[in-house]
Structure 1
């Protein structure tokens, strides 16, 4: 078993775990509950860690994680026509009222 990366949050670690799983790479998550120990242990020891089970999957897994880490963060928003609530640009349904946001042509230029 080899450590592939440390994640900045449980959510990020879970996304990496899912990406690896979708590519048929078995992996485990460690330190998922360690953030509760912050203050008693160094913060760098509390980061969630993703480890591949089979050493032979390490390089392929590393490439998948590296590709994920290069993904740009989307900061644009779209406003719901029904309730005028702000939603992340990549949402298809308003988180507030459930109305559809899936009109790609209307999203262009809306920030």
Structure 2
């Protein structure tokens, strides 16, 4: 088992695990609960860590993580036409009601 990377938060670590899983790379998350120890341990020791199970998957996993890290952060929003809720522009479904947002995107309902 090899450490692939440290994530800045649990959400980011889970996205990385999902990406690796979609590529059939077995991976584990460590330090999942370490943030509760902040103050007692250095903050750098509390970051969630993503490890690949098979050393042979390390290079392929690293390429996937590097590609993920190059993804630009999307700050614009769209408003759901069904319920009016604000959603991040990269969402496909409204988080509130589950309606499709592609219609709002095609009609430039974003800022």
**TM-score per shorter chain, which class?**
0.7 to 0.9
TM-score (norm 1): 0.88
- Quote the residue 2:94 is aligned against: 94
| Greater shift in the superposed pair: 16-25 or 61-70 | 16-25
RMSD: 1.7
Equivalence map 1:66-105=2 (5 Å): 66-103=66-103, 104-105=105-106
Extract unaligned runs of 5+ from structure 2: none
- For residues 39 and 57 of structure 2, the distance between their equivalents in structure 1, rounded to whole angstroms, comes to 35
Tell me, in whole angstroms, the C-alpha distance in 2 between the residues paired with 1:85 and 1:21.
Answer: 31
Q: CA deviation at 1:82?
A: 4.4
Structure 1 residues 12 and 78, CA gap change in structure 2 (3 angstroms): same
Cα distance in 2 between the residues matched to 1:6 and 1:39: 19
| Residue in 1 that maps onto 2:64 | 64
Instruction: Give the stretch that moved more between structures: 86-95 or 7-16.
Output: 86-95
Q: How far off is 1:84 after superposition? A: 3.4
